[in-house]
Amino acid sequence: MEFELQTHEGAYPNQVTVDPDNGRYMLRSADTSGEIFNSAYELLNWIQQNWDKDAFVHPEKYDQMIEAIRSKTDE
């Protein structure tokens, strides 16, 4: 799964990749900094601690992304 969330301030969207088949869990923020994680659970925790859904143009997409990632932590 891949997600793109546009912030109000960034020129580039935040990108999130959740690929359990290949063990890829990573994100790139609008400032082009990135993080790599060992699991969907670690990625989800980081996002919830560091990103605020109100920072995004479409906050409902943030909620949808959180639910989709959460479903991968239950597998």
Per-residue confidence (pLDDT) for residue 10, from 0 to 100: 85
What is the DSSP annotation of 29-53? Answer: -TTS-EEEESSHHHHHHHHHHH--G
Within a domain: residue 21?
A: yes
Mean per-residue pLDDT of the chain = 94
Please give the tally of structural domains in the chain. Answer: 1
Task: State which residues form the domain around 44.
Answer: 2-69
Within a domain: residue 74?
A: no
| pTM recorded for the entire structure | 0.90
Give percent of the chain with pLDDT exceeding 70. 97
Within a domain: residue 64?
A: yes
Q: Which single residue is written with the structure tokens 């959740």? A: 18
